Amino acid sequence: MAKGKKKETLTPEERLQAALVPESEQPYKLPENWCWTKVGDLCTFIGGGTPDKTNPLYWNGNISWASVKDIKGSYLYSTIDKISQVGLECSSSNLCEAGDLLLITRIEPAKAIVSKIVTAINQDLKIVKSELSSLFLYYYFCAFQHEFEKKASGSTVKGITLPNIQNTPFPLPPLPEQQRIVDRIESLFAKLEEAKQKAQDALDSFETRKAAILHKAFTGELTAQWRKEHGETMESWEKKQLSQLAKQIKAGGDKPDDFTTIADEIHNIPVIANGVTDEGIVGYTATSRFSGETITVAGRGTIGFSMYRTYPFFPIVRLIVIEPQDTVKAAYIKYAFDAFPENGTGSSIPQLTVPMVKEKIIPLPKLNEQTEIVRILDDLLAKEQQAKEAAEGVLEQIDIIKKAILARAFRGELGTNDPKEESAVELLKQVLSC
């Protein structure tokens, strides 16, 4: 093709040759009856816009108006915002038809959705028009979204330009194969969604199961058989304030801004802050220090709880530390906080106070039954945690499998291709002639 020759002056054969990706530039090998072309040779893109938000006449009409926040899942059925007819006419927004593909070019570049409704769009979206199936194009953008993201630019908000989209290679199969690919993907994805739902249900019920186990522990149900075997009854249980069960309950302070003024002899003391042990950072005098087995309680927000066997001693930062008496196990107090959580006070930043902790009442059996309750809870909750992690692993694996299916789909490796079908080059010719 002569340099500078306009597209409209090209012959059909020249247009075809320009649309085909040279073998040296093809990302990978395709089946013989497929061909490599470019997105811009298959699709036309129509932009959108936003009506003036200061003009109430443009908004809350009866026309759907899609933006990035509406692009979730495979299909668009409704939008959060609506505009009026005059808002549409007085802006650069455009209407997509039901069945069109919508593509994000900014914020979440190359994320796509098939619209089931007529809707206007904002400037972060593009309407994608093509002779190809919108659903096939949707799965293409799903499969190659990471490649488009690499082409995105922007320091705060990432966006991808239309030329970058148009010049991206597209593995084009014959039209019947496209439908078979869609059917195969949806069949495989449906089975994966069933497994995903079961894993998600197990994950969602984790806190409920944990709460039920803790409830049984602190109502005596978990150790009913143990009491029967050891000649104990629930009459031995008492309700005690933590102030009656602790040697001391104290709060920590804040780290000073300048550590250089702190004496060398108190450097390198581990510090407990918000339930986390930071090894080797400085110690300081504006805190309480503890040795032995203690329980740390988050001083701000909904109670967060950790237990450490502190050695040799720890300063604490914005935490409340409970040092239990010999009549109560530290782990038992820990589980009591899990069973009966406390919320802090305060409108903006909830805060847990020492008086609140001291006044907390917990049901208390004898020490030997506490030991048994802790043993059972350790075992049951460890198993629940394993089940939770397994469910999380299943969800991660499903996402990996989906990506693998999409990758194979656009390599012609799903076992659906018929090599006897007419070459996709013929389809490309038809598209280019439209």
Which pLDDT score is estimated for 15? 92
Please write the tens of the pLDDT for every residue from 208-255.
999 999 999 999 999 999 999 999 999 999 999 999 998 888 776 555
Q: Which of 91-105, 175-189, 284-298, 304-318 has the lowest mean pLDDT?
A: 304-318
- Closest Cα partner for 354 from 268, 263, 250? 250
Which pLDDT score is estimated for 341? 76
Residue 198 phi, psi (nearest 5): -65, -45
Give the 3-state DSSP-derived string for 89-142, with helices as H, strands as E and coil as C: HCCCCCEECCCCEEEECECCCCCEEEECCCEEECCCEEEEEECCCHHHHHHHHH
Q: Work out the angle at residue 85's Cα, subtended by the Cα atoms of residues 84 and 89, and round it to the nearest 5 degrees.
A: 120
Mean local confidence (pLDDT), 3-11: 62
Q: What is the percent of the chain with per-residue pLDDT over 70, rounded to a whole number?
A: 80
Please write the tens of the pLDDT for every residue from 138-166.
999 999 999 999 999 988 899 999 999 99
Alpha-carbon distance of 410 to 120, in angstroms, equals 31
Residue 366, pLDDT above cutoff 80: yes
Which pLDDT score is estimated for 313? 39
Burial of 400 (0-12, 13-18, 19+ CB in 10 A): exposed
Which pLDDT score is estimated for 292? 55
Domain 238-364 CATH (choose: 3.90.220.20, 3.40.710.10, 3.40.720.10, 3.30.565.10): 3.90.220.20
Mean local confidence (pLDDT), 119-129: 97
Record the tokens describing residue 148, joined without a space. 């488009």
Please write the tens of the pLDDT for every residue from 399-408.
999 999 999 9
Four-residue CA torsion sign, 379, 385, 388, 394: negative
Residue 297, pLDDT above cutoff 90: no
Please write the tens of the pLDDT for every residue from 163-179.
999 999 999 999 999 99
Please write the tens of the pLDDT for every residue from 257-273.
444 444 344 444 444 54
Alpha-carbon distance of 322 to 241, in angstroms, equals 12
Q: How far is CA 402 from CA 59, 138, 178, 186, in A?
A: 39, 14, 18, 10
Mean local confidence (pLDDT), 384-396: 95
- The reply to whether 7-174+418-433 and 238-364 are identical in fold is yes
Which pLDDT score is estimated for 195? 95
Residue 418, pLDDT above cutoff 50: yes
Alpha-carbon distance of 273 to 80, in angstroms, equals 42
By DSSP bridging, strand 59-66 and strand 119-121 are: parallel
Q: Which of 33-37, 123-127, 184-188, 280-284 has the lowest mean pLDDT?
A: 280-284
Alpha-carbon distance of 168 to 171, in angstroms, equals 10
**CATH number of this structure's domain 7-174+418-433:** 3.90.220.20
Residue 43, pLDDT above cutoff 70: yes
Residue 46, pLDDT above cutoff 80: yes
Q: Decide: 34 and 424 in contact? Cβ < 8 Å.
A: yes
Domain segments of the chain as ranges? 7-174+418-433, 238-364
Output b/e per residue, 189-213; b: 16+ Cβ within 10 A. Answer: beebeeebeebbebbeeeeeebeeb
Peptide bond into 355 cis (omega under 30): no
